[in-house]
Structure 1
Amino acid sequence: MTIVITGATGHLGRRVVEQLLARGVEPSTVVAGGRNEAALAELATHGVRTARVDYADPSTLDAAFAGAEKILLISGNEVGRRSVQHKAVIDAARKVDAELVYTSAPKASTSDLVLAPEHKATEGLLEGSGLTYTVLRNNWYTENYDDTIRQAASTGTILTSAGSGRIASATRGDYAEAAAVVLLSDQYTGEILELGGDEPWNADELAATVSELAGTPVTVNNVSTDEHVAALTGLGVDEGSAGFAAALDANIAAGLLAESDGTLSRIIGRPTTPLKQYVGELLGA
């Protein structure tokens, strides 16, 4: 069986490749696709095949997918262009009748999450594609808070407009392990899997965790959405990025990233990585 991992030069995709190899998959049956040539060269040292994969260039998709039986479509990072790019991947997968696994967003088809519309569109494309597919609706990555954690440890404060909203985050390693399990099993074929961390947390709990591990008091500066945008732009963040960050915090405040039913930990056969463990490793505590 040939498995193609798109986005393999990114943080999540590289970990999926590593998880497949750790499970004894023959390296030559794995195709790692991406745009970063240096990262592809590094992956090739593990014995996997590599291919240039650019969602905006269908010719690269056709070449990379030749002979593929399963394809992991890791969602693109170009907001506003993703559904078009994902359609190109789906169309290329149809040419070889490969099974697709797609990384989506929590409750993408019904959620008001700012990230959901493009994922909803992609899921709709999959539904009408005639392909066999599985959807991994990944919640937030704990790594998305790396800068927040480091800044909290150094400045003693966390700026947020998420209120007491909780986040059922898990690490990229957790999600990558789940993707590898799904790719290597027929058990989840056709399912839409809502994946998240076992222990949702909020900003106050993050502050307490950083405070404990860094040995310094950390307070939470909870502000309104408008105040959040103003504070970020005042720090030099562009208006679009500031607005997006504040909109996401509003989604968190509304509880849109709070739910987890344990599906992720059941798939990987262990608890998801606890927040305290992750923060400790990040800070070297």
Structure 2
Amino acid sequence: MSIVVTAATGALGRLVVEDLLERVPADQVAVVVRDEAKAADLAARGIEVRVADYDDRAALARAFEPGDRVLLISGNEIGRRVAQHTAVIDAAKAAGVAQLAYTGILGGPEADFELAAEHTTTEQAVLDSGLPYTFLRNGWYHENYTRELPTVLGHGAVVGSAGEGRVASAARADYAAAAAVVLTGEGHLNRIYELSGDAAWSLGEYAAEVSALSGKEIAYAEVAPDEHLRILTGAGVPEGFAAIIVDVDAAIERGRLAGTSGDLARLIGRPTTPVTEAIGAALA
């Protein structure tokens, strides 16, 4: 039996693995990766590397073993994720894993925006499988915003169409720590966790904080959704993904990413990372 992390060389996966290694010996951890070479550093630390792609059912059939506790990190190929996730679920069921944890999205079925639809369908597929599950419904990452700081600083503005809507984001490392907790602890089977930051903020407040910490005047430029779409595509964002970003802002305006259940802080045993800390680190 191993604790198995899929997509383990991705941004979230690597953080989960690091947190796991603080809790259990390396020989109790396995990773599923597409590119074995990218996991060479993990293998060197005593972690078992299993090679499989979400699109390769034959390889996935060899990726899990009876009794494994598996973290299915959602894929990033929007529009293809249901088929990919279903392949993982089928392989996990065939192997007889003891737990299938899944990184979904805050709100579950109540998240009524396009990006959430594949997560909702995946959760239902997990339920239909009959596997013991843990749903980690992750809210927004601070990094979704802080990675755009060079552009924000260059233009002197945070551009969006979310109105006064609020985002209860947390650091990616906070969500990774929660995953490690449910994979190594007891009492988490057949549980749903609504994970988000301790405090919610608006894009206007975010812009003000960036301004204060950078020493540059940064405004929040509220634009209409169609104008937001035009700005994004004009900056080179593919139209399909730009439409998703605009749709998420509309969801933020409706309050869909503002929930502060406290589940994340309770799981990790500490307050979540404040967005101000994330901004400061990104600016350093």
TM range (shorter): over 0.9
Indicate if the aligned counterparts of 2:147 and 2:282 stay in contact, CA closer than 8 A.
no
| 2:44 is aligned with 1:55 | no
* Matched residue, 1:160: 160
* Matched residue, 2:277: 277
Indicate if the aligned counterparts of 1:265 and 1:272 stay in contact, CA closer than 8 A.
yes
* Matched residue, 2:77: 78
Per-residue displacement from partner, 1:141-193 (whole Å, max 9, x unpaired)? Answer: 11111233232233311111111111111111000000000001122211111
Amino acid at match of 1:197: G
Per-residue displacement from partner, 1:13-44 (whole Å, max 9, x unpaired)? Answer: 11111000012x11112111112333211222
SS at match of 1:64: coil
Indicate if the aligned counterparts of 1:34 and 1:40 stay in contact, CA closer than 8 A.
yes
SS at match of 1:103: strand
Distance 1:131 1:150 in 2: 44
Comparing 52-61 and 130-139, the one that deviates more: 52-61
Per-residue displacement from partner, 1:53-79 (whole Å, max 9, x unpaired)? Answer: 211001221222134521100011111
* Matched residue, 1:115: 115
SS at match of 1:115: helix
Amino acid at match of 2:155: T
* Matched residue, 2:105: 105
Distance 1:264 1:236 in 2: 35
SS at match of 1:72: strand
* Matched residue, 2:173: 173
* Matched residue, 1:213: 213
* Matched residue, 1:140: 140
Per-residue displacement from partner, 1:236-284 (whole Å, max 9, x unpaired)? Answer: 2222122111111111111110111111001000000001111101111
Comparing 62-71 and 122-131, the one that deviates more: 62-71
Residue 132 of structure 1: CA displacement?
0.6
Indicate if the aligned counterparts of 1:166 and 1:253 stay in contact, CA closer than 8 A.
yes
Indicate if the aligned counterparts of 2:159 and 2:222 stay in contact, CA closer than 8 A.
yes
Distance 2:72 2:119 in 1: 12
Aligned-pair identity (%): 47
Distance 1:247 1:176 in 2: 26
Identify unmatched segments of 5+ residues in structure 2.
Answer: none
Per-residue displacement from partner, 1:94-117 (whole Å, max 9, x unpaired)? Answer: 112111001111122222122221
* Matched residue, 1:226: 226
Q: Show the 5 A alignment for 1:184-263.
A: 184-263=184-263
* Matched residue, 1:7: 7
Q: Show the 5 A alignment for 1:9-48.
A: 9-23=9-23, 25-48=24-47
* Matched residue, 1:92: 91
Comparing 25-34 and 9-18, the one that deviates more: 25-34
Indicate if the aligned counterparts of 1:31 and 1:64 stay in contact, CA closer than 8 A.
no
What is the RMSD of the two structures over their aligned residues, measured on CA atoms? 1.3
Indicate if the aligned counterparts of 2:115 and 2:244 stay in contact, CA closer than 8 A.
no
Indicate if the aligned counterparts of 2:146 and 2:278 stay in contact, CA closer than 8 A.
no
Indicate if the aligned counterparts of 2:36 and 2:49 stay in contact, CA closer than 8 A.
no
Amino acid at match of 2:137: R
SS at match of 1:186: coil
Amino acid at match of 2:45: H
Report the TM-score, using the length of structure 2 for normalisation: 0.96
Indicate if the aligned counterparts of 1:3 and 1:68 stay in contact, CA closer than 8 A.
no
Distance 1:169 1:141 in 2: 5
SS at match of 2:227: helix
SS at match of 2:194: strand
Comparing 243-252 and 6-15, the one that deviates more: 243-252
Distance 2:208 2:37 in 1: 39
Amino acid at match of 2:82: S
* Count of matched residue pairs: 283
Amino acid at match of 1:136: L
